[in-house]
Structure 1
Amino acid sequence: MTATSSSPAGGSFKDMRKNFLIALGISFTLLQLLFLGNMCYLYGTQYRDGTRFHSLKMLYVDYDGDVVGQSVVDAYGMLSSDEFPSLIQSPASEYPTPKDVKAAVCKGDYWGAVYAHPGASSNLSAALATGNGNRTSLTYIWNGARYPAFSQSAIYSSIMSLVQVTKSAYYARNASNVLATAPLSKNPASLQAFLDPIQATEINIKVTEQGSRVLYNTVSMVMPIIQQFFFMMALNGISAQFHLYTKLGPRRNGLLRMCVSLAFTFIGSLCMAGYIWAYRESWDVNSNQFVLSWMSVWLYMHINFLIVDILTAFIPMQFLPFCILTWAIINVASTISPFELSPGFYRWGYALPAHELYQVLVQIWSDGCEDQLYRALPIMFSWWIACLAIVPFAMSHRCKAALAAEQAASNSSFDNKTTVSLAESTGRDATLHSRQSSTQEIVPQGRRQTAESIRLEHVAYGPSYPTPGVRGDEP
């Protein structure tokens, strides 16, 4: 005969197989849906983003008022599409000097700007006629620190395309006149001017070319959330080892937790600013910007610590991974690309702390350009203040659960002693039926109380892991 494997409680796997498969199927399905939903949300931010380039605005001011200035307009007419940024032409009276054009880009009203120099057409005509003259006709402006990888691939490349097509537009508009009048065959300098009639100079408000720039608005926004979650698990484990929630009241526990969280996020934000600076390469940023970045990240990290503290206090353990992962994904989705390129639904991400942190950092790194403090700081401090108002209730909930767990454990211990006393007082003449009856009445109650104690401990101290090499305060 084949023995049937069974648990110590007496149930065989065959008896529990159905429930096991149901539980496995539920977890299997929920986790698949969790990752599917989150990744669909993240991928949705990039869905057909190239068709929304027209939502990005670039400024054009024509200080020339002649053939070169008009060639830029003609070039944009040839390039204009949903996959090319919108070039908004404004009169020179609205932007009287090139400094005003740069200020418009610096302010963040436009992603880039192009302006035709005063007298550009006459200078080019002189260069074609004599071989001498300034052929720099255009200047373009952009901010390399604003979504650097995206700006490099979309804004900068679009401006380069505009400059190149402007040459073709100039030929179409003026080549016949030049060929008829310019001494191209006699003067090599004139020929060179004809072959390359439109030259442009660049003003990059903040050159950001280091390889690590692609991480600033992606991985760097997720790591602080994961870091706070891991530290929360460690802090809960230490609290469980030393039974802090039953030995200290909610107020003292709350103050202790607040001091620890401020210290941890203070050092964590210093480390984050430190590795950004350590790999900055030739990026021109100074110590003042380092400190401002450090303080901004500190606020962001502490917000996430408080959020994780609240979630781990009130969300049941089986649903906690869903909350933490989703929180991380929606935050990074709000920073991974400009909202202009995402479907309109994603603009609710303005309310998320990660997006506002990145806006603050861009302003710091751009020497004050891209001013979004009027919106970013109120949103971040609103998160911080709201979490500070809720976190005392989370601590009170933990302490109450810890006290209830301790009481349930005491009751279970008392019932176990009662069982032992009952067994000793039972006479040798008692029947087997009377012993089984006593055990069935007392043992299940003790087991229920032990299970309840364990459940309440998980509520109070979860999620957690024990600190390696540290022995707690043994009761």
Structure 2
Amino acid sequence: MFEPGRQRPVVDNGYWRRIQKHFLLAIGTGFLLLQILFLANLTYLYGTIFKATSRVHNFNVLFVDYDDSGVIGQSVLAAYETLKAPSFPTLIHHPVSQYPGTEQAYDAVCRGDYWATVYTHQGASERLAAAVTNETVAETYSQSPALSYVWNGARYSAFAEGYIMANLQKLIAASRVAYGHINGTGIVQSATDLSKAATVNVLMDPLPATEINIKPTTQGTRIFYNTVSMEMPILQQFFFLMALNGISSDFHLFHKLSPVANSTLRTAVSTSYTLIASLCTTGYIWYFRDGWSVTPTHFTLTWMVLWLYMAINFNIMDIATAYIDAKLMPFFMLTWLVVNAASSLAPLELCPRFFRWGYALPTHETYQLLIQIWSGDGCMDRASRALPILFAWWVVGTALAVMSVYRRCAHAVAAERSLAGEGEAGGRVGRAPGGVVGGGGKGEEQDRSPRSQSQSMVLRTVAGPEAVALHGYKTQESIRLQRRAYGPSYPTPFVRGEGL
């Protein structure tokens, strides 16, 4: 319903026919570009773990035989030969001289040199032989393992469970079968009394094994650590930057304050925001840890790493929005999210070699530091590689972010000058021959306003089509410059800065 006295909108029945071709071409172009964007990015993301099972052999597992090449060690090697395939981790046999004790074998996994270690215990073959001939030894045989395997549950826990722990258990089971083929007949013949339950138990499980998990990470939320928890900080910084730009626009900061003052202000605000945002992110990880054995020191270190990560992404968002046209920002934003997600989604050993460039991305190195922190005891030390990469991103990003502020200020000043020039042009037109607009007084002040309705009337009635075109061009140019200065942005609720 229209209010009485209000002019009804004029319906141009021929308008759709005039724009139909151009509209359909424009919407078709947008349709096509977005399809290509999502196709390219999702192809990249899916490609990271496409046929990942065929690259499981890139996971290296150390094997050390402390049983002096006894039958148990032979059984493990024989079992591996039957399981050896691209979908099975590579078992690398090293002599005892390189790893003199089980502590050294453990440290090889702790350092991250290997994804796991399997080793036999010294004298295991002799204990097994004694157990089948001596009931007393048989009763306690299972308490002393013949084999042990070490792995780290904090290192890409979902993949470690599926490809490391599961395959190690498969190797142990196959070793029992291989032992039966190698020495089954002899050990049964040497058994003194097969009616004894303890002896039968030894024959049923001749190779008891123990699992050593450096950092058990079994909580359900662990699947978010290298996925959603790595992507949300990027979105947080983008949304906060939009809010900051909107508030800056409300208060006209880029043309009211100097570039130095704006840079200092934005640095202080972004530092404070990323500090609190990283604390909140760490907080919800800890709140839902579900019995995960982590300490206050782990909490603080996680907080600091996420703070650096968020500061890097704020700089990247600030630079991108200053230099990339708003039309292209969705393309950049989605691509940045996807390539970073892909870099931490799975161990790069499972990815095709092309994706190894992900080592240079901040998300991958941030997650490597988090694995190091959560593993504890100095395990998985990747700080010598990750910290230089992250600080390089931060230093370069900070410098370019300061430059982007200068660019924003220049656009804001140019926009104001464009508006001022438009206002002066309106004033000159108002004093054109014929005296359409009276001189002096309040009316003239209104006519000099670039947004006044009377100026548009003067331009239409006095100056002709050329002035109208110039007026429209200047208005569009000032709007474009304002968007480049303060965009992208959104109006923050409950914030009013107009008229200041």
Q: Does 1:467 align with 2:492?
A: yes
Q: Which amino acid aligns with 2:324?
A: I
Partner of 1:74: 78
Q: Give per-residue Cα distances to partners, 1:297-346, cap 9 Å, x unaligned.
A: 00000000000000000000000111111111101100101111110000
**Equivalences for residues 182-201 of structure 1 within 5 A:** 182-201=191-210
Partner secondary structure for residue 460 of structure 1: helix
1:376 aligns with 2:376: no
Q: After TM superposition, give the deviation of residue 424 of structure 1 in Å.
A: 7.1
The match for 1:409 is 419
Residue pairs, 1:272-287, within 5 angstroms: 272-287=281-296
1:210 to 202, 208, 219: 219
| 1:431 alignment counterpart | none
User: Which 5+ residue runs of structure 2 have no aligned equivalent?
Assistant: 1-8, 438-458
2:88/2:167 contact within 8 Å kept: yes
SS in 2 for 1:60: strand
- Compute the displacement of 1:261 (Å): 0.3
Aligned to 2:125: 121
Alignment partner of 1:62 is 2:65: yes
Q: 1:424 to 1:281 in 2, by over 3 A?
A: farther
How far apart in 1 are the matches of 2:433 and 2:84? 91
Deviation by residue 1:50-96 (Cα, 9 ceiling, x = unmatched): 00011110000001121111111111011111100000000011101
Q: Deviations over 1:393-432 (max 9, x none)?
A: 10011000001111111222333444455497149xxxxx
CA distance in 2, matches of 1:435, 1:151: 74
Shift of 1:436: 5.4
Report the Cα distance in structure 2 between the residues aligned to 1:261 and 1:391, rounded to whole angstroms. Answer: 11
The more displaced of 40-49 and 185-194 is 185-194
Moved more, 172-181 or 92-101: 172-181
1:306 maps to which of 307, 311, 315? 315
Moved segments of 4+, more than 6 Å: none
Distance 1:331 1:89 in 2: 36
Amino acid at match of 2:234: I
Correspondence for 2:444: none
- Using the size of structure 1 for normalisation, the TM-score is 0.95
| 8 Å CA contact 1:131, 1:188 repeated in 2 | no
Point out the more displaced range, 17-26 or 354-363: 17-26
1:90 maps to 2:90: no
Distance 2:10 2:113 in 1: 75
The CA deviation at 1:197 is 1.1
Assess, with a 3 A threshold, how the Cα gap between structure 1 residues 423 and 157 changes in structure 2: closer, same or farther: farther
Q: C-alpha offsets along residues 358-381 of structure 1, whole Å, 9 cap, x if unaligned?
A: 110100001121111111000000
Alignment of 1:133-144 (within 5 A): 133=137, 134-135=141-142, 136-144=145-153
The answer as to whether partners of 2:418 and 2:478 remain within 8 angstroms in 1 is: yes
1:155 maps onto 2:159 in alignment: no
The question of whether the paired residues in 1 share the 8 Å contact of 2:301 and 2:373 is answered with yes
CA offsets 1:133-175 (integer angstroms, 9 cap, x no match): 3342001000000000110111000100001011100100111
**What SS does the aligned partner of 2:132 have?**
helix
Matched with 1:430 is none
Q: Out of 33, 39, 43, which is 1:40 matched to?
A: 43
Q: TM-score, normalised by structure 2?
A: 0.90
- Checking the alignment, whether the CA contact within 8 Å between 2:61 and 2:117 is kept in structure 1 is yes
Q: Take 1:474 and 1:205, find their aligned partners in 2: how far apart are those partners? A: 61
How many residues in Structure 1 have an aligned counterpart in Structure 2?
464
**Where does 1:45-444 land on structure 2 (aligned, <5 Å)?**
45-64=48-67, 65-133=69-137, 134-135=141-142, 136-367=145-376, 368-422=378-432, 425-426=435-436, 438-444=463-469
Equivalent in 6, 27, 31 of residue 28 of structure 1:
31
Q: Find the aligned partners of 1:422 and 1:462 in 2 and give their Cα distance.
A: 38
* Aligned equivalents of 1:156, 1:279: Cα separation in 2: 24
Percent of counterpart pairs with the same letter? Answer: 47
Query: 2:429 touches 2:462 (CA, 8 Å); kept in 1?
Result: no
Partners of 1:414 and 1:272 in 2: CA distance: 52
**Secondary structure in 1 matching 2:269:** helix
CA distance in structure 2 between the partners assigned to 1:437 and 1:311 by the alignment: 44
Aligned residues of 2:298 and 2:374 also touching (Cα < 8 A): yes
Kindly state the Cα deviation for residue 132 of structure 1 after the two structures are TM-superposed.
3.3
What RMSD over aligned residues (CA atoms) do the two structures have, in Å? 1.8
- Give the superposition deviation at 1:15: 1.7
Higher mean displacement: 228-237 or 173-182: 173-182
